[in-house]
Amino acid sequence: MIIDQISMSYDGKRKHLDDVSTELLKGKITTIIGPNGSGKSTLLSVISRNHMPKSGEVLLNGLNIAEFKAKDFAKQLAIVYQHNTSPDGLTVEKLVAFGRVPYQSFIKRPSEEDTQVIDWALESTNLLEKRETALTDLSGGERQRVWIAMALAQKTPILCLDEPTTYLDMYYQLELLDLVKRLNEEHGLTIVMVLHDMNQAIQYSDHIILMQQGKIIAEGEPTEVITTERVREVYNVEAKIYADDEAGIVVVPMKTATMS
């Protein structure tokens, strides 16, 4: 997926995305990070066609995503949002089944393949036993997994996640990111996500895009992108960065930079 000179503004005044160009690598985990209002979620929403850019284009397999039919695009890219509402009493299986909507039409009824894919999505997210459970009776972590399962049921090569861990406890945050990593490794899914936690981004991503005020400040491998200077410049925070065998590096924020 190629992002070519995207600019975007919600109100016509402030540039929420300012001439952003990059490429999202196939089969890799790319994480977009940056402070609040840096445009990271906006970028994700342009990629996922939830918002149209003011200028520039996003190319998928050489084709502008604006030209895809809605259903065809939904077979290429699925997205999980940080906050989702669902009707009371809806069961896990029924929600996941919605992921098959792009493959169904008004007349065409659910097929054998639909059932198989739904089973696979439930299995991959470890939800087979909960299929008859109502969403409202699940924990926050389980619920977020259900939304991922729904996205998986779309059977897309690309999966986007918008701050999927925000409302979760630490245990569920890691559980969820492990799931994302497994999906990437086992099924070759291209993952694009927005994360708040810099260390999680470093630990789980192949590629990091660091944004500030609608622009990409730096991108590349986590250990290259994250430096003390950049953390100070972008987040206004003094941080120490230590080498770590498993994660590569660990960022420890010390104090706000303006206070010093």
Partner 1 sequence: MKKRITSFVVVIALLLITIFLSATTGSVSMGLTEFIRALFGEANEDFVIIKDLRFPRIIIAIFAGAALSVAGALLQAVMRNPLADAGVIGISAGAGFMSMFIITFVPTLFFFTPLFAFIGGAIACFLVFSLSWKAGLEPMRLILVGIAISAVFTGLKEAFIMLCSYMSVTIDGSFTSTMTMKTWTEVEIMTVYGSIGLVLALLLVKWCNLLALDDKTVKSLGFPLMTARIVIAAVAVLLSAIATYVAGVISFVGLLVPHIARRLVGNDYKYVIPFSILAGALLILVADTLGRILIPPQEIPASTLMAIIGGPFLIFLLRRGDRKA
Binding-site ranges for partner 1 (CB under 8 A): 45, 48-50, 69-75, 78-79, 81, 84-90, 94, 98-99, 101-102, 106, 154
Compute the least distance from the CB of residue 148 to partner 1, in Å: 12
Of residues 43 and 231, the one with the C-beta less far from partner 1: 43
Q: Which is nearer to partner 1, 107 or 259 (CB)?
A: 107
Q: How far is the CB of 74 from partner 1 (least distance, A)?
A: 3
Is the Cβ of residue 88 or residue 186 nearer to partner 1 in the bound state?
88
- Is the Cβ of residue 55 or residue 84 nearer to partner 1 in the bound state? 84
Min dist. Cβ of residue 69 to partner 1 (A): 8
The number of angstroms, rounded, from the C-alpha of 78 to the middle of its chain's C-alpha atoms is 9
Q: Please, are residues 207 and 218 in contact by the beta-carbon 8 Å criterion?
A: no
Closer to partner 1 at the Cβ: 125 or 212?
125
Residue 52 vs 252, nearer CB to partner 1: 52
Instruction: Give the shortest CB-257-to-partner 1 separation in angstroms.
Output: 35
Task: Give the tokens for residue 80.
Answer: 């999980």
Nearest distance, CB of residue 122 and partner 1, angstroms:
18
User: C-beta of 39: minimal distance to partner 1 in Å?
Assistant: 17
Nearest to 156 by CA among 51, 72, 63, 40: 72
